[in-house]
Amino acid sequence: ETGVTQSPTHLIKTRGQQVTLRCSSQSGHNTVSWYQQALGQGPQFIFQYYREEENGRGNFPPRFSGLQFPNYSSELNVNALELDDSALYLCASSPIGQGYEQYFGPGTRLTVT
Amino acid sequence: SQQGEEDPQALSIQEGENATMNCSYKTSINNLQWYRQNSGRGLVHLILIRSNEREKHSGRLRVTLDTSKKSSSLLITASRAADTASYFCATDLTGANSKLTFGKGITLSVRP
C-alpha cells in the first residue's frame, strides 16, 4: 500500500448537492493530482496542485474545484452534483516534475442519485 | 479522450502461462507507465519506462517501448491467480509534468 489516504471511502449524494473529498499525500511529495474513474473506464485527469496552486487542469467544468494545504494534503470539491459525477475519485501524489510515478490512494466511491 | 489504447480489452489465461498486453498512444511522451487495479480500488504502479528506453524488467514484468510505432507492451511471465486484475497504461505527455493520460484498461483473468 502507498502512504496516500482518502476519505471518505464511500459517499451517497443527491443531484444538486455539493461534496468535498479529502486526500493526504505520501510523505515528501509536494504534488497532488485528482482523477475521476467512471465504471469500466480508465482514470481521467481532473487537476493537479503544487505549492497550493492549481498546476494544470483536465477537461472538467469549473464546478470541480480543489485546494492544497501547506502540509500538501488536498480537497476536491464538486458543486451542483450531476448523475454523471458518480464515479471513483482517485487522488495521487508525486514529486513535481516529469518522469515520476504516481502514488494512488484507495479512492472515494461517489454515488449521485 | 483517451490517449492510450490497450489491447486486448480482456485476456483469460491459465496459471503459469505468460500474459502479453499492448498499448498504443498518439502523441509525444516523456514516459509510459503501467498500473494495476484490483476490484475498482486504488491503482498500483508497476513499472515506468522513459522515452529513451526500449526495454525494462522488474521481477516477472517486462515492458518494451517503441516510440517510432508509439506502442508499448507489458509481459507478465509465469502468471499467478493473484495477477487477476485490470491493467492500465498511462502516458506522461511531453510537458505534462506527471499529469497522466490513461487508457481504458485490460481485464486479466488468471485461472488456477
Q: Pseudo-torsion of CA B64, B69, B70, B71, nearest 10°? A: -40
Q: Which residue of B has its CA nearest to A90?
A: B42
Residue B1's pLDDT is what?
Answer: 45
What span, in angstroms and rounded, lies between the C-alpha atoms of A90 and A36?
6
Of B44, B98, B104, the CB nearest to A97: B98
Using a pLDDT cut of 90, give the percent of chain B over it: 78
Nearest alpha-carbon partner for B98 in A99, A25, A29, A35? A99
What span, in angstroms and rounded, lies between the C-alpha atoms of A106 and A33?
14
Give the model's confidence band at B96: pLDDT under 50 very low, under 70 low, under 90 confident, else very high: low
What is residue A25's DSSP assignment? P
The verdict on a CB contact (< 8 Å) between A100 and B4 is: no
- Give Dmax over CA atoms of chain A in angstroms: 39
Q: What averages of pLDDT result for each successive group of 10 residues across chain A (113 residues)?
A: 90 98 90 94 94 91 96 95 98 79 94 98
| pLDDT, mean of residues B11-32 | 94
* Interface residue of B31, B38, B43, B104 to substitute, partner A, most A CBs within 10 Å: B43
- Give Dmax over CA atoms of chain B in angstroms: 43
Buried b (16+ CB within 10 A) or exposed e, B18-31: ebebebbbeeebbb
Q: Which residue of B has its CA nearest to A5?
A: B42
- The residue type of B39 is S
Q: Which residue of A has its CA nearest to B93?
A: A98
Phi-psi region for residue B78, left (φ > 0), alpha (ψ -120 to 50) or beta? left
Residue B3's pLDDT is what?
Answer: 64
Of A42, A45, A109, the CB nearest to B99: A45
